[in-house]
Amino acid sequence: MGMARTGSEGIAHLTAKEASARMDALRQEIERNTYLYYALDAPEISDAAYDSLMRDLRALEEAYPELAAPDSPTKRVGGTVEKQFSAIEHASRMYSLDNAMDEAELMEWMEGMEKLYGHLPELCCELKIDGSSIAITYQDGQLVQAATRGDGTTGEDVTANVLRVRDVPRTLHAAALGSVADPDAPLELRGEIYMPRSSFEALNLEAQAEGKKQFANPRNAAAGSLRQKDPSITASRDLATFIYSVSSNAALHVRGQWELLEWLRSAGFHVNPDVALCSTKEEVIQFCAASLEKRESLPYEIDGVVVKVNEFALQDAAGFTSRAPKWAIAFKFPPEEKTTILHDITVQVGRTGALTPVAELEPVRIAGSVVARATLHNEDEVHRKDVRVGDTVIVRKAGDVIPEVLGPVVTLRPDDALPWVAPTTCPSCGSPVIREEGEAQIRCVSIDCPAQALERLLHWVSRGAMDIDGMGEEIVSRLVEMGRLSDVADFYSLTVEELERLQMGRFNKEGDPITLGHTTAVKLVEAIQGSKERDFARVICGLGIRHIGKSTAEDLVEAYPSMEAMRQASEEELQAVYGIGERVAASIWAFLRTPDNVDVIERLERAGVAMAAVRPEGEGVPRTLEGLTFVLTGTLTGLRLSREEAADALKAYGAKVSSSVSKKTSYVVAGENPGSKYDKAVELGVPVLDEDQLRAVMDTGVPPVI
């Protein structure tokens, strides 16, 4: 399908080496975001951006098949299994879907199907429900198990939670059982679990009132509610399902998707009524257009239309790619645009002092969420778009994408609307602001700026950094106002006694001030104390050093695994670390030498916060492999080890394990079915180890002699 259209630009100019490096970088970024999305329900980038990374990688793999990694994320469905739920293997793989981003791509796919079968097959069109996939298994007509999609092969056991979703039948209607091919076999049915919009909004209002974290959209709310450790919480959330598929076409005596939907209805499932069986391309396009039209008025979110070849025999003939059926396509709706009023442009002070203009909008519902604010990035951007307070502006959003102000509708501009003028002083502390040469951002450089201090504190407790559960903005702000928190080390001296009495600035019906209370205070102190054990990379990230995000912090810690080592590194040495450039090195070096920062770090250390990377099995292990770099490829079948486990064992001896082969690689370990890394090793003359040789290295820590 239209992969080449978006992904292939510029590929022709790449050398094989550049392509290989870019593919490695893309793979890493995709893996990281897959984990954030599926395991943590906390996406950092939009779905569209994620899809685009995936398309780029796929296009490169198509252009350079010899460089494609056998374990590439393009060959997998996203998702991992969290440890707290037990794993369930699906009866057959739960696939993802390929996307058509516009009508032309949808047409292209339908033409492909026409060519494949020699005629256009009947196509079953359904709404693409924007929820979370679920697989529900019945044995002898009784619900026995429910699982999330996970990585497609193995999902998480969420049976106890799904049993509390009202529209999921516990027992299949007896009349429907006659169509089950093998009455003794388990029957796995699949669909989407979702949260209606109104329930999502009510849930967020409640969370807001209680000062808790709100969900970004109904999909995250559904996924989060489904994966609760306590099923009574799932029960309290208004979840619903639409079921639309079966794990195997042979499991039921039905001939196609349309009949399957009918059977599902007769068995007692909730099946979406908006479906169409089309015999021409025009009818399909028409269904997509009508669904888009209807989107806003539906009580739940949809993000497109799924078009499936109706007949099972034809589906079976088309088969699957490694991640998706060839006989189905998801037509994705285009980003939504709405107009609304720009009430004000406020200025936000970030933790590094950057001043960001923010559009304060008349709240408007776009692509699944209510948008009331949108970043305008910087001064130049405001002037380039020439948006003015009072303007009617066009706002665009697609799915999870951060909303964007496209520009004003100039004809609707009030006569008195004036161009925006950037502030000359910090809105928080009043200090004069500066704009450095070559920088787009205006900056407050005062060390005593309260807005920066608050942002630094919030960054420390955030999920990507020290992840202190329950320590939200409201509590942190109160503690700052009380003078009890001024830097991140202060968190560690907070006590249950003072927290339980903390007044939240609100009053109950009797007019008494609401305090945090004992239970919450105990939980908070536990969470704070628990954070002392966090990875050193999280500590580095949490300190909020300019230009240092999570992945740079990880690179840094890999090279300098303790605060002591990092402090002793010169600016040049820091620059030599993979992933760290001049600007970043200068920023770290200066940070670690600023007296205020040194003081905070020392107090954190005294409080017991880990200031060195723990090497789980490496403690006391001689670092005999220091300076050597290993690359692992293929499956370590003989050793019955995952590559991660083998990598950890090598790292414990001080080795580096990298994902790509270069001249600097010391050894490539080739398991079964090694990929292109093996060929690359041969090409570059890098020694290749087999599993036995790897075993010897892991057992002895002695570098192999080839």
Query: Among all residues, which ones are annotated catalytic?
Result: 128
We find the least distance from the C-beta atom of residue 192 to ligand AMP, in angstroms, to be 5
Nearest CB to ligand AMP, comparing residues 141 and 325: 325
Interacting residues with ligand AMP between 89 and 108 (CB under 6 A) = 96-97
Terminal C-alpha separation, the chain: 47
- Strand 336-349 with 328-332, pairing: unpaired
When asked if residue 128 is in the footprint of ligand AMP (CB under 6 A), the reply is yes
From 298, 300, 294, 256, select the one nearest 277 (Cα to Cα). Answer: 256
Q: Select 133 or 220, whichever has its Cβ closest to ligand AMP.
A: 133
392: tokens are: 């009617």
* Site map 463..492 versus ligand AMP, x via CB under 6 A: ------------------------------
Region from 122-130, 485-493, 497-505, 573-581 binding ligand AMP, contact rule CB under 6 A: 122-130
Residue 240 or 657: the one with the smaller Cβ distance to ligand AMP is: 240
- Stretch binding ligand AMP (CB under 6 A), from 67-75, 125-133, 137-145, 616-624: 125-133
109 forms part of the interface with ligand AMP (CB under 6 A): no
Q: Which is nearer to ligand AMP, 264 or 494 (CB)?
A: 264
Which is closer to ligand AMP, CB of 311 or CB of 554?
311
Region near ligand AMP per CB under 6 A, out of 127-135, 340-348, 453-461, 693-701: 127-135
Instruction: Measure the CA dihedral 273/278/282/283, to 10°.
Output: -30
151 binds ligand AMP (CB under 6 A): no
Chosen residue from 330, 471, 516, 585 binding ligand AMP by CB under 6 A: 330
275-278/123-129 β-pairing? antiparallel
| Number of residues lying near ligand AMP (CB under 6 A) | 10
The Cα 567–Cα 560 span in angstroms is 9
Measured between alpha carbons, how far is 494 from 489 in angstroms, rounded to an integer? 10
Q: How far is the CB of 332 from ligand AMP (least distance, A)?
A: 9
58 binds ligand AMP (CB under 6 A): no
Distances in whole angstroms, Cα of residue 201 to Cα of each of 43, 133, 196, 217, 223: 20, 21, 9, 9, 15
Site for ligand AMP in 283-322 (CB under 6 A): 306
Task: Tell which one of 192, 379, 400, 554 touches ligand AMP (CB under 6 A).
Answer: 192
Structure tokens at 351: 């933790």
Distances 393 to 336, 347, 415, 429 between C-alpha atoms, Å: 14, 18, 15, 31
Which residue's CB is nearer to ligand AMP, number 41 or number 192? 192
Q: Does 126 bind ligand AMP (CB under 6 A)?
A: yes
- State the nearest-atom distance from the C-beta of 292 to ligand AMP, in Å: 15
Cα–Cα distances (Å) from 623 to 181, 509, 699, in that order, read: 60, 64, 13
Residue 344, strand partner residues: 360
Main-chain dihedrals φ then ψ at residue 594, nearest 5 degrees: -85, 125
Distance CA 411, CA 392 (A): 9
Which class for 115: exposed (0-12), middle (13-18), buried (19 or more C-beta within 10 A)? exposed
Query: Residue 300 gets which letter from DSSP?
Result: S
CA distance 649 to 124: 51
Between CA 555 and CA 549 the distance in angstroms is: 10
Q: Which stretch binds ligand AMP (CB under 6 A): 124-132, 469-477, 627-635, 698-706?
A: 124-132
Rank residues 246 and 625 by Cβ distance to ligand AMP and give the closer one.
Answer: 246
Residue 627 is given by DSSP the state T
- Using the rule CB under 6 A, give the single segment among 121-129, 233-241, 372-380, 441-449 that binds ligand AMP: 121-129
Residues of this chain, 208-247, that bind ligand AMP according to CB under 6 A? 244
Task: List contacts with ligand AMP (CB under 6 A).
Answer: 96-97, 126, 128-129, 133, 192, 244, 306, 330
